[in-house]
Amino acid sequence: MMAKHLSIIAEKEFRSLLSERTILLAILLQLFVALFSSFLMVGLTSMYDPSSLSKYSRFKYNVGYAGNESDLSRYLYASPDFRVFQMDLSTGVTALKERKLAAVIWVPDTAPDADAPIKVTLYTLQNDLQSAIVDVKLKDIFLRYEKDLREIRIDRLNEKPLPLRFPPASGGGDFYEFVYGLLIPLLIFMPAIIASALVIDLITEEYQHDTLETLVSTPVTFPEMVWGKVLACEILVPVQAAVWLVLLMINGIAIENAGLILLHVTISSFVLVLLGALTALHYRERTAAQFIFSTALVVVILFALSLPANPMNLLTRLAVGTAGAEQWAVLAAVLAVAGLLGYATQKYTERISRISHTG
Amino acid sequence: MGALADITTIARWEVKKSFSMMSRDVLPLAIVLFVLLVAVTGFSTQTGLHLQDGMYRIGVDDPTMAQILAEDARFTVFQLPERDLIAQRGEFDILIINGYAYTGTASRSVAARKTLERDYAKYVGSVYNREEDLFAAYPLWIDTQSVKSELSFLATQSGQYVSAAPVRAALVPEGPVEQIATPSPTLSVTKEDLRGQLVQSNVENTQISRYTETLSSSTGTMDTFKTPSQLSPPLPFDSIILVFVFIFPLYFTSQFFMMSIMNERIERKGEILLSAPVKTASIIIGKMRPYLMGMLAICTALTLWIRASPLIILPLVPVIFFFLANALLIGMLSRSFKELSFISIFFSTVATSYLFFPSIFANVHVISLISPLTLIVLTLQGTAWTVTDYLYSTSLFWLTSAVLFYIAARNFKEERLFSEKGLVTRMREFLSEILSRKHPFLSLFLLTGFSIPFVFMVQMMCLVLFFNLPMPASLVFLLLFAALIEETAKGIGIYTVYIRDPGFLTWKNLILASGATAIGFLVGEKLLLFVTLAQISDSVFGSILFLSLGSLWLPLLLHFAGVLIVACCIKKWGAKGFVPGLALAMVVHCLYNLYFILGWFL
């Protein structure tokens, strides 16, 4: 096998990728996925925890209080988030419908130490953003009231949970697991998936457009041609992954062991690209190859994810800096699989070219 | 009758062709893979997904606590005597000594603390759930009642911004006071039912819901009785997962359709079909029918399998058509497999996020109805929806699919299918085909009018993208891009006409074309608002439309000015003038928006 021939094939594929500008779409796609998922996360969190949106924290919401006096009303009056109006239930609900109140609370006359629970009725507007915010703010007050009531009824409990006290909260940390435990492995692995889909297209295209004979009539052998295509796709992976890492770092997300992450993703992606190449060589037709490959991909990734210390988990641990020596064992295992697939690809391509020469 | 017979024949060919190709050795392997998939899914639900294992290191002195924490794979737990823990404190994100958690300020430590708090709350919950006297452990129950407000709909309809901020108003209701029955002070559910619900919401917190528990401690318990800690808007998580189960097969099947169209174009294989004495519409429908039937069959089978209401299929139909229309066009447009792959992956990602994103808010906000999937989530939850809801959420999909099918049908012929030109040129040619030469102004009017649903979809995506930028930047970008998208949609028709026939753009024609485009855009915009807003309250709708008619001339003038700028630039500098013209029109549009909508001027 000649390195020069490999690079000729790889270069040809790069040129056509550039001229079609499809690679731009691929990059745009990844950008979209990244932006979209963080939009989802930030948007959802601000919805469920409105304190993260400072805009809503300075408002006082009007709530109607109906029914009997309780400690709950004391908490509500003391809260900086609410303006409380004592009123009759029917008036309150009508005012709520006219959006003059954000919520109406009705409290029964159940005694705090009664056998039965205290059932508070909370009226809010259906399908309304304001209700969502008010719900979250009221939740804090209800939780405090629940704690008081639990304290009153504590003698009736059989078992006490192990105590654990926390220092005062400093806030933040909501997105850490999302960024390191989902976004980073996803972004780093996506180039690998794209590359393996690409190699199928490159190989089946030669078959379906009948350009294979022209290509093999040049000094380039069939195995060299396949390896050149594999190489072209494989090179794209660490380049894209590195761009992601740099972009994330520019965004203020500290990533440890960036070099090791690139090493791991390059080797793992080799497995996927070779799997893609083998599928394409077997079917020689895009629809079938892509279908079988993408189904197989789901199976492989799902299976890998169910194993502890899988390559994707390793990316997370490397990025946060808690990966231990086990990473080398995983790397060796992945490398062994890649080597095996590489050997299979070499043998398979040699066989195909022998058959086509004799036949 | 002839057309129907043609369609059936072509459909039969299509099935035969794809089966002869598939059956070789795809089918056996596909079955094996499917069995493997089921097995692996079962395996992973047992072992859980190990993506976040070992993110944090935690040091604990108490063995019982260590055991509790070890259940969460995110923690690597070290159980050591207090002395050793303090000596090696730099190694840990959190130390737990004598029932007190010591945390650091590093971001990993802060995140670990959040996780620990949630795990601890879950543990405490599991202890309380076992209490014999459940109402001593959970003394407070909240009965949540939703009230429907007509007022907010009226306000949004008249273009008023209903903010999440409270109103400062006198607290006397204006309308008549409706009598509300005093709620009963007792729970209508037995203690053991409540316990079951508590246990379930505690157990549900598995690997997947880890992402959602950042948001709410309970997953979609739709019962009205809640403990205070369950009082967050429920995330319909299970339903959303199910929605994916429905969308993925659709995506796969549309891929086959796309590929079948593409295959006809490789080496001009489809030439024979085109030369047959059959209408193009029959060819397209015939080729599409097996896939349409397949998709419907898959959806029906899935619905039966999960034992859901057959109503689910109704909102899926426009989605199926949307996927098929796009698949057809993508198959006709792309030149190579690479292009096909990337365009189709790009399309499906964007479409899936457009479908998926609003449905998360299914229980929170009316806006969630812009996605048909929300209706599916609602059906799965057992919430009813109306015919107008259906029209509201599916109209965009029906419209865009119809437009795309029309474009594809007009272009399904030899010179378009087998051309080797670039993607952008081909897109322009496709547009050019639907612009009539006899009635250029009418077709410009229609083209712009029908571009509105696409403009809305693209603008919606921009909103999503720019949301991530810091505040002033996101607003500026949104303004600029919204204007650019609208101007492009308006300018593209005239540009296409010019490229086809440069002599067409005399000054008189230029003014007429701009006028037709501007009116088309305005009418499309208003019609779409009609469809989307009419569902909210039909009665008041009419008055609103006519109310705003008084100010219709202003947007019309804006649209006209925008197109005119682009048209003049094209006339002056030819095709090269298109981009500068768009830029100029965008600036004018932005200034208008700043002045009239935001009410301030630079």
Q: What number is the ipTM of this complex?
A: 0.83
The reply to whether B337 falls in a domain is: yes
Q: Looking at the 3D structure of chain B, how many domains does it have?
A: 3
Which residues of chain A lie closer than 8 angstroms to B133, CB-CB? 153, 156-158
For the ranges A74-83, B387-396, B471-480, B545-554, the maximum mean pLDDT occurs at A74-83
Chain A contact present for B471, CB below 8 A: no
**Which residues face B146 on adjacent strands?**
A124
The answer to whether residue B537 scores a pLDDT higher than 50 is: no
pLDDT for residue A280: 92
pLDDT for residue A342: 94
Query: B145 vs A170: CB contact, 8 Å cut-off?
Result: no
The dihedral region occupied by B163, where left means phi > 0, alpha psi between -120 and 50, and beta the remainder, is beta
What's the mean pLDDT in A268-279?
94
Residue of B nearest to A57 (CA): B165
Q: Which amino acid is at A39?
A: F
Residue B478 buriedness (CB in 10 A; 0-12 / 13-18 / 19+)? middle
| B13-27, B40-54, B62-76, range with the lowest pLDDT | B13-27
What's the mean pLDDT in A320-325?
85
Last residue of a domain, one of B397, B421, B445: B421
Which residue, A138, A134, A136, A108, is CA-closest to A120?
A: A108
The reply to whether B524 falls in a domain is: yes
pLDDT > 70 fraction of chain B, expressed in percent and rounded: 79
Alpha-carbon distance A358 to nearest alpha carbon in chain B (angstroms): 24
Q: Which amino acid is at A59?
A: F
**Band of pLDDT at residue B213, cut at 50, 70 and 90:** very low
pLDDT for residue B155: 43
Last residue of a domain, one of B116, B134, B152: B134
pLDDT for residue B441: 85
Mutate to test the interface with B, among A20, A22, A49, A213 (most CBs of B within 10 A): A22
**Band of pLDDT at residue B492, cut at 50, 70 and 90:** confident
Spatial contact of A190 and A269, defined as CB atoms under 8 Å apart: no
pLDDT for residue B472: 65
pLDDT > 90 fraction of chain B, expressed in percent and rounded: 5
**Band of pLDDT at residue A54, cut at 50, 70 and 90:** very low
| Alpha-carbon separation of residue B337 from A141, A207, A209, B24 (angstroms) | 59, 12, 10, 22
Do B261 and B391 fall within a single domain? Answer: yes
d(CA A106, CA A272): 60
The answer to whether residue B559 scores a pLDDT higher than 90 is: no
pLDDT for residue B238: 62
CA atoms within 13 A on the CB side of A20: 21
What's the mean pLDDT in A239-262?
86
Mean of the per-residue pLDDT values for chain B? 77
- Write down the domain spans for chain A: 3-43+175-358, 57-156
Residue of B nearest to A158 (CA): B131
**Secondary structure letter of residue A165 according to DSSP:** B
Q: Which residue has the higher pLDDT, B420 or B277?
A: B277
Residues 254-273 of B with CB under 8 A from A: 255-256, 259-260, 263, 266-267
Do B449 and B386 fall within a single domain? Answer: no
Chain A contact present for B111, CB below 8 A: yes
How many CB pairs (< 8 A) connect A and B?
Answer: 419
**Band of pLDDT at residue B169, cut at 50, 70 and 90:** low
Spatial contact of B109 and B103, defined as CB atoms under 8 Å apart: yes
Chain A contact present for B169, CB below 8 A: yes
Do B346 and B442 fall within a single domain? Answer: no
Structure tokens at B437: 């030469």
Alpha-carbon distance A183 to nearest alpha carbon in chain B (angstroms): 11
Query: B136 vs A94: CB contact, 8 Å cut-off?
Result: no
Query: B183 vs A106: CB contact, 8 Å cut-off?
Result: yes
Q: Which residues of A170-187 are buried (b: 16+ CB within 10 A; e: fewer)?
A: eeebbbbbbbbbbbbbbb
The tens digit of pLDDT for each residue in A285-319 reads: 888 888 889 889 989 888 988 888 888 899 999 99
d(CA B203, CA B512): 67
**Band of pLDDT at residue B156, cut at 50, 70 and 90:** very low
Q: Which residue in A124, A162, A292 is closest to B30 by CB distance?
A: A292
**Which residues face A123 on adjacent strands?**
A104, B145
d(CA B162, CA A130): 9
Q: What is the 3-state secondary structure (H, E, C) of B394-452?
A: HHHHHHHHHHHHHHHHHHCCHHHHCCCCCHHHHHHHHHHHHCCCCCHHHHHHHHHHHHH
Mean of the per-residue pLDDT values for chain A? 83
What's the mean pLDDT in A16-45?
71
| A137-141, A289-293, B31-35, B209-213, range with the lowest pLDDT | B209-213
Residue of B nearest to A298 (CA): B37
Alpha-carbon distance A114 to nearest alpha carbon in chain B (angstroms): 9
Residue of B nearest to A125 (CA): B147
What is the extent of the structural domain holding B92? 56-134
Do B455 and B578 fall within a single domain? Answer: yes
pLDDT for residue B207: 46
- Reported in sequence order, the residue ranges of A22-166 that DSSP labels E, i.e. its strands, are 61-67, 82-86, 103-107, 118-125
The reply to whether B226 falls in a domain is: no
d(CA B510, CA B508): 5
Q: Which amino acid is at B151?
A: L
For the ranges A95-104, B240-249, B308-317, the maximum mean pLDDT occurs at B308-317
Gyration radius from chain B CA atoms = 30
The CATH number given to A57-156 is 3.40.190.10
Query: Which contacts of B440-447 are long-range, i.e. CB under 8 A and separated by 24 or more positions?
Result: B440/B497, B440/B504, B440/B509, B440/B513, B441/B512, B441/B513, B441/B516, B442/B516, B443/B493, B444/B493, B444/B494, B444/B497, B444/B513, B444/B516, B444/B517, B444/B520, B445/B516, B445/B517, B445/B519, B445/B520, B445/B523, B446/B520, B447/B493, B447/B520
Q: Which residues of A316-327 are buried (b: 16+ CB within 10 A; e: fewer)?
A: bbbbbebbeeeb
Q: Which residues of A39-64 are buried (b: 16+ CB within 10 A; e: fewer)?
A: bbbbbbbbbbbbeeeeebeebebbbb
Alpha-carbon distance B434 to nearest alpha carbon in chain A (angstroms): 26
Last residue of a domain, one of B78, B99, B134: B134
* Widest pairwise Cα distance in chain B: 91
pLDDT for residue A22: 67
Which phi and psi (to 5°) does residue B456 adopt?
-60, -45
What's the mean pLDDT in A222-241?
90
Residue B384: how many other CB atoms lie within 10 Å: 8
d(CA B359, CA B369): 7
**Band of pLDDT at residue B296, cut at 50, 70 and 90:** very high
Q: Which residue has the higher pLDDT, B289 or B170?
A: B289
C-alpha torsion A341→A342→A343→A348, nearest 10 = 80
Query: B166 vs A299: CB contact, 8 Å cut-off?
Result: no
Do B516 and B489 fall within a single domain? Answer: yes
Which residues of chain B lie closer than 8 angstroms to A193, CB-CB? none
Query: Which contacts of A246-253 are long-range, i.e. CB under 8 A and separated by 24 or more positions?
Result: A248/A184, A248/A187, A253/A179, A253/A184
Query: What does the DSSP assignment read for B539-600?
Result: HHHHHHHHHHHTTTHHHHHHHHHHHHHHHHHHHHHGGGGHHHHHHHHHHHHHHHIIIIIS--
For the ranges B446-450, B534-538, B546-550, the maximum mean pLDDT occurs at B446-450
Q: Which residues of B117-149 are buried (b: 16+ CB within 10 A; e: fewer)?
A: ebbbbbbbbeebbebeebbbbbbbbbbbbebeb
pLDDT for residue B38: 87
The reply to whether B87 falls in a domain is: yes
Query: A322 vs B57: CB contact, 8 Å cut-off?
Result: yes
Residue of B nearest to A204 (CA): B337
Q: Which residue has the higher pLDDT, B156 or B554?
A: B554
Quick one: which H or E segment has residue A333?
helix A326-358
- Reported in sequence order, the residue ranges of A25-154 that DSSP labels E, i.e. its strands, are 61-67, 82-86, 103-107, 118-125
* Residue whose tokens read 């812009």: B370
Q: Is the whole model's pTM more than 0.90, yes or no?
A: no
CA atoms within 13 A on the CB side of B321: 20
